[in-house]
């Protein structure tokens, strides 16, 4: 509404209408006159920012009907009934239909003086109604945002009792929202390290105005349930001043899920300790045996007959690890290239069997090879060697003594299939879809050395040749990994290889 409010007087009696208009305009408002309900509704359609003073006996429509229409179409437009009908029942009915006020005409014209106050009151109430409606819209918009956001939001009463929680947070705590409200925040989360209690945190919020830090869901092991939380007090003027200053405030808590970050952090820590271990073990073997060999008077019966093979194998283990890292950085930088040349797949497998024969034998494993005549494959031989070494190495690593490993090469449609079948411990079905992810290691494997990079790299190398790796496994019985390589390399791959 502009500075000057606009008043519309709807009255069938011309004399009466003029008297009302004259009385109201003394209040400094702009006044328009109308005789019929139709004109009134037409004015409102153009601009509802008016106060309507209406009689109940408009010529074209019952005044109560007009009230009802205004209330439904223009709920923020004050409608004041000015009538000669001095009947409480009629007044109540009019109010029920949407009248904001009810003024009874007096023969002595006293009501005209009251009208100015009535209009002023209606305008005040209109301002309040508008403000309330605006707040209501804002609150609704906020509620929608809170419900929809993936961050967790909670409102805490003094002492940490939860007054509100949004769906994201309740779901993360695996509780319905109603089961969380009314309980203490302490029951769900804790600050890591026993030294800090949530009560202290809330006191710090009250004193210093804000707190940010990490909290963890109770009963859940990191990296799950790790949150970055910010606690902000809601500034209420009543509690900011006086003796209660800084105390007993309502606090808004925003929870940001840090599970992914904590997971990466954990992975990094696991990974570091793993590579340190994986390098240390073969290095100790190399150093120990070379010391024996360089000893001028070596204890004769302590030197194993295959000492040089063992040293070589330990060196190869470290070499493979370093190659894996180099490959990984090449893959991540998008710099992996292949140099394809024709090779005999059966010969490559035979060479691997020969190379790994001694470590399989030492572990008490039988290593067999089954091939059929095959066409040559166009592959990058050193890279394929690495893939084979990885799959065969895994079969040896994850198969207990007495087991059997069977390598095979055969034609499968347009592909050559290189199979690695073992009688090892197998892989749980829920791990299979993730097996080829970077750093992925099956939970039970964490006690065996390994970085979880081998299969990721193997799959990437095979994919670069236009092929794929398949795995079938049964816990307790064994696993079969199969490399599928197309006999005819796809044109696009060959072109890329040539450029690469
Ligand atoms: P790692 O260095 O841990 O061996 P890989 O990427 O080569 O990494 O293998 C990923 C995980 O897959 C291993 O940690 C192991 O749990 C599982 N795995 C791979 N091959 C076998 C197999 N032949 N038998 C059982 N588990 C296997």
193-206 pLDDT per residue, tens:
766 788 888 888 88
The binding-site residues of ligand 1, defined as CB within 6 angstroms of any ligand atom, are 390, 394-395, 398, 422, 424-425, 427, 435, 440-442, 445, 450-456, 479
pLDDT given for residue 499 in this prediction = 44
Under DSSP, the state recorded for 244 is T
Question: Residue with the nearest Cα to atom 7 of ligand 1?
Answer: 454
Give CA separation, 238 vs 158, 234, 241, 246, 255, in Å: 14, 11, 6, 11, 27
Q: How far is the CA of 448 from the centre of ligand 1 (A)?
A: 9
- DSSP result, 88-133: HHHHHHHHHTT-SEEEE--TTSHHHHHHHHHHHHHHHHHHHHHHHH
Distance, CA of 53 to CA of 11 (rounded, Å): 8
Could you give the residue ranges of the DSSP H alpha helices within 363-447?
381-397
3-state secondary structure of 236: coil
Q: Is there a contact between 438 and 456 (Cβ–Cβ < 8 Å)?
A: yes
Q: How far is the CA of 278 from the centre of ligand 1 (A)?
A: 14
Quick check: 220 and 125 in contact, CB under 8 A?
Answer: no
Q: Which mutation among 328, 404, 445 tests ligand 1's pocket best, with the greatest number of atoms within 8 A of CB?
A: 445
Question: For residue 459, how far is its CA from the centre of ligand 1 (angstroms)?
Answer: 13
**Ligand 1 mean position, distance from CA 266 (Å):** 19
Q: At what angle do helices 345-362 and 381-397 cross, to 10 degrees?
A: 30
Residues 460 and 336: beta-carbon distance below 8 Å: yes
- 296 HSE (CA, 13 A, CB side): 0
Q: Give the Cα-Cα-Cα angle 78, 80, 82 (nearest 5 degrees).
A: 165
Distance in Å, CA 174 to ligand 1 centroid: 33
Q: Ligand 1 test: best mutation among 277, 317, 328, 394, most atoms within 8 Å of CB?
A: 394
The answer to whether 278 and 449 are in contact (CB under 8 A) is: yes
Structure letter (DSSP) for residue 239: H
Predicted confidence at residue 360, as pLDDT, reads: 94
Q: What is the pLDDT at residue 245? A: 45
Which regions in the chain score pLDDT beneath 50? 1, 239-247, 498-500
Nearest to 358 by CA among 405, 318, 306: 306
Q: Which one of 433, 441, 449 would you pick to mutate in the ligand 1 pocket, going by the greatest count of ligand atoms within 8 A of its CB?
A: 441
Helix 307-332 to helix 259-294 angle, to the nearest 10 degrees? 150
Backbone dihedral angles phi then psi of residue 215, each to the nearest 5 degrees: -130, 160
Cis peptide before 16 (omega within 30 of 0): no
Nearest CA to ligand 1 atom 8: 452
Distance in angstroms (rounded) separating the CA atoms of residues 417 and 359: 24
Nearest to 352 by CA among 369, 340, 328: 369
- 450 C-alpha vs ligand 1 centroid, how far in Å? 8
CA of 441 to the centre of ligand 1 (A): 6
Q: So what's the pLDDT on residue 4?
A: 85
pLDDT tens, position by position, 25-66:
998 999 999 999 999 999 999 998 999 999 999 999 999 999
Sheet holding 211-217, edge to edge: 162-165, 152-156, 251-257, 226-233, 211-217, 189-190
State in Å: Cα 369 to ligand 1 middle: 21
Measured by CA distance, the residue closest to atom 14 of ligand 1 is 441
Q: What is the pTM of this model?
A: 0.54
Ligand 1 pocket test: pick from 271, 406, 432, 455 the residue with the most ligand atoms within 8 Å of its Cβ: 455
Q: Which residues pair with 470 in a beta bridge?
A: 482
Closest by alpha carbon to 179, among 204, 193, 194, 162?
162
Closest residue by Cα to atom 23, ligand 1, is 395
Alpha-carbon distance values, 351 to 320, 345, 485 (Å): 17, 10, 18
371 touches 340 (CB < 8 A): no
Kindly give the number of the ligand 1 atom that is closest to the alpha carbon of 456. 6
Distance, in Å, from the CA atom of 77 to the CA atom of 281, rounded to the nearest integer, reads: 85
Q: Greatest CA span in the chain, whole angstroms?
A: 135
Angle subtended at Cα 389 by Cα 384 and Cα 391, rounded to the nearest 5 degrees: 95
By DSSP bridging, strand 6-10 and strand 51-54 are parallel
- Residue 436 CA: which ligand 1 atom is closest? 6
408 contact partners, CB below 8 Å, separation of at least 6: 349, 369, 370, 371, 417, 418, 419, 421
Cβ-count burial 257-278 (b if 16+ within 10 Å, e if not): bbbeebeeeebeeeeeebbeeb
pLDDT of residue 449: 66
Give distance in angstroms: CA of 92 to centre of ligand 1: 82
CA of 452 to the centre of ligand 1 (A): 7
Residue nearest to atom 16 of ligand 1 (CA): 442
Output the CA 449–ligand 1 centroid distance in Å: 10
Cα end-to-end span (Å), the chain: 71
Pick from 275, 324, 264: nearest CA to 459: 324
CA of 394 to the centre of ligand 1 (A): 6
Distance 123 CA to ligand 1 centre (A): 77
Nearest to 159 by CA among 80, 228, 76, 249: 249
pLDDT for residue 497:
54
Residues 6+ apart with CB under 8 A from 114: 103
- Between the CA of 344 and the centroid of ligand 1 the distance, in Å, is 27
pLDDT value, residue 500: 41
What Cα–Cα distance (Å) separates residue 132 from each residue in 79, 147, 438?
18, 22, 55
Q: What is the DSSP letter of 161?
A: B
SS3 of 58, please?
Answer: coil
Residue of 270, 360, 450 best suited for mutating to test ligand 1, as the one with most atoms within 8 Å of CB: 450
218 conformational bin, left if phi > 0, alpha if psi -120 to 50, beta if neither: beta
- Region of 364 please: left (phi>0), alpha (psi -120 to 50) or beta: left
292: phi then psi, degrees, rounded to nearest 5: -60, -45
Residue 422 alpha carbon, nearest atom of ligand 1: 23
Atom of ligand 1 nearest to the CA of 426: 25
Q: What share of the chain is helix, strand, coil (3-state, %, to 5)?
A: 50, 20, 30
Atom of ligand 1 nearest to the CA of 478: 24
Q: Which atom of ligand 1 is nearest to the CA of 424?
A: 24
Q: Whose CA is nearest to atom 13 of ligand 1?
A: 441
């Amino acid at each position: 509404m502009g500075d000057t409010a606009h008043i519309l007087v709807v009255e069938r009696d011309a004399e009466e209408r003029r008297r009302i208009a004259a009385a109201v305009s003394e209040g400094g408002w702009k006044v328009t006159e109308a005789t019929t309900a139709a004109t009134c509704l037409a004015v409102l359609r153009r601009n509802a920012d008016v106060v309507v003073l209406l009689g109940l006996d408009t010529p074209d429509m019952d005044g109560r009907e007009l009230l009802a229409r205004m209330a439904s179409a223009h709920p923020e437009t004050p409608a004041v009934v000015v009538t000669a009908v001095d009947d409480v029942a009629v007044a109540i009915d009019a109010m029920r239909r949407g009248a904001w006020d009810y003024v009874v005409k007096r023969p002595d014209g006293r009501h005209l003086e009251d009208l100015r106050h009535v209009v002023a009151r209606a305008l005040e109430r209109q301002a309040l109604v508008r403000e309330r409606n605006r707040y209501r819209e804002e609150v609704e918009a906020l509620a929608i945002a809170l419900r929809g956001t993936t961050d967790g939001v909670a409102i805490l009463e003094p002492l940490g009792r939860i007054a509100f929680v949004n769906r994201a947070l309740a779901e993360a705590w695996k509780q319905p929202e109603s089961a969380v409200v009314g309980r203490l925040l302490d029951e769900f989360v804790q600050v890591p390290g026993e030294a800090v209690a949530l009560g202290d945190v809330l006191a710090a919020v009250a004193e210093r105005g804000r707190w940010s830090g990490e909290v963890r869901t109770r009963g859940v092991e990191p990296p799950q349930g790790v949150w970055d939380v910010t606690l902000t007090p809601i500034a209420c003027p009543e509690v900011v001043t006086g003796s209660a200053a800084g105390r007993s405030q309502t606090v808004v808590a925003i929870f940001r899920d840090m599970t992914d970050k904590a997971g990466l952090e954990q992975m990094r820590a696991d990974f570091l300790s793993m590579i340190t271990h994986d390098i240390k073990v073969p290095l100790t073997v190399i150093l120990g045996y070379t010391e024996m060999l360089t000893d001028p008077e070596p204890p004769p019966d302590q030197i194993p007959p295959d000492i040089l093979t063992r040293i070589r194998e330990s060196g190869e283990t470290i070499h493979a690890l370093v190659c894996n890292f180099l490959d990984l950085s090449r893959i991540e930088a998008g710099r992996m290239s292949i140099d394809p040349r024709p090779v005999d797949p059966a010969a490559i497998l035979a060479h691997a069997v020969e190379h790994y024969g001694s470590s399989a034998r030492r572990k008490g494993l039988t290593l067999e090879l089954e091939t059929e005549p095959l066409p040559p494959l166009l592959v990058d031989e050193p890279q394929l060697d690495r893939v084979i070494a990885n799959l065969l190495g895994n079969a040896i690593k994850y198969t207990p003594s007495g087991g059997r490993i069977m390598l095979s090469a055969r034609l499968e449609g347009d592909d050559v299939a290189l199979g690695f079948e073992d009688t090892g411990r197998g892989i749980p079905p829920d791990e299979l879809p993730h097996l080829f992810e970077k750093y992925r290691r099956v939970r039970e494997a964490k006690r065996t050395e390994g970085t979880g990079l081998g299969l990721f790299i193997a799959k990437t190398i095979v994919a670069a040749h236009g092929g794929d790796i398949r795995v079938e496994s049964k816990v307790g019985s064994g696993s079969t990994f199969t490399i599928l390589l197309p006999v005819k390399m796809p044109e696009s791959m060959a072109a890329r290889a040539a450029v690469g």
